[in-house]
Amino acid sequence: MNRGVLLGVVLLAAGCQAPPKLVEPFPEPSRSSGAWVVLEDRRPGWERAPFEGPVVSLYRFSRVSPNPWGRLQKATEAIVAELPDKPERVDVVVTSFRLVSKVAEAPPRTEEGGTVQVAGRNVGLLGTGKTGGYERTTYDMARSAQSAGDQKGAQNALSQLAFQGNAPSAGVQVGEAPAVELPEGPLDGLAPGAHCALRGVIRLTYPGGRDTDVPFAVLAGRPNETGSRYWGETLEQATQLAMVQFTREVRRGVGLPPRE
């Protein structure tokens, strides 16, 4: 075959390749004081699809640095290093991890001919009760996704409201470990600003197969004092605060004294 034709075929084949998919870094298992520290991402699919809307936006973790996953791993390693009874393995199963910004509320939505309902419920009642904050935030995300033209993201968010107890069960697959049901995180009353929300369960596995489960639920928020539309600095502050709250909550759960 003519070399020029062959080169053209190669270039044409290369041009037909799909663009590379953005994959955010996720930490490999690490060691802390002889124990394995393993992170597991069990977030629902819609939390992995960032979008920007007129009210609520959900961001990729690359918006802040260092990456929040790496910070979570480092915070866990520091806690494990102080444990007097060392586990063999520590699994951090994350069922929700969000970087969210919220601006001032948009005008209330009105519908001709009746009230708007989601999952058989009046939208006006969302935001009340035990899981109200989570429901209200999820609905706001769905509304923002729809306004931005992201119909798939809106549908995925709205589907979460069709179930009671939106947090997936967190069971670490170490052999046939039982599922650990988690309570709803403290996601009520989101004010305008940046928020880092994190919840899940830590499982400490000790020699002989003994397990200890420590659930955590964290919500850290900061106002956008700079007024920047990029939100970078405010998201960074919220992430830092979330790691402080995570450390405090997990230390309490494993019986370590609070830091000075």
User: What average pLDDT does the segment 206-216 reach?
Assistant: 93
Position 189 confidence tier, pLDDT thresholds 50, 70, 90: low
Determine the pLDDT at residue 50. 87
Confirm if 100 and 238 have CB atoms less than 8 A apart: no
Calculate ∠ Cα 98-141-76, nearest 5°: 10
Decide if 223 is inside a domain.
Answer: yes
Q: Is the pLDDT of residue 117 over 70?
A: no
Structural domain count of the chain: 1
Residues β-bridged to residue 58: 51, 100
End-to-end Cα distance, the chain: 75
Decide if 5 is inside a domain.
Answer: no
Decide if 14 is inside a domain.
Answer: no
Determine the pLDDT at residue 259. 79
- pLDDT tens track for 14-73: 445 555 555 678 999 999 999 999 999 999 888 888 888 788 888 999 889 999 999 999
What mean pLDDT is reported for the chain? Answer: 74
Decide if 9 is inside a domain.
Answer: no
Decide if 62 is inside a domain.
Answer: yes
Decide if 10 is inside a domain.
Answer: no
Q: Confirm whether pTM is higher than 0.75.
A: no
Decide if 98 is inside a domain.
Answer: yes
Residue type at position 253: G
Residue 122 belongs to domain spanning = 23-106+114-254
SS3 41: strand
- pLDDT tens track for 229-257: 778 889 999 999 999 999 999 999 999 99
E strand or H helix that includes residue 152: helix 151-160
Decide if 229 is inside a domain.
Answer: yes
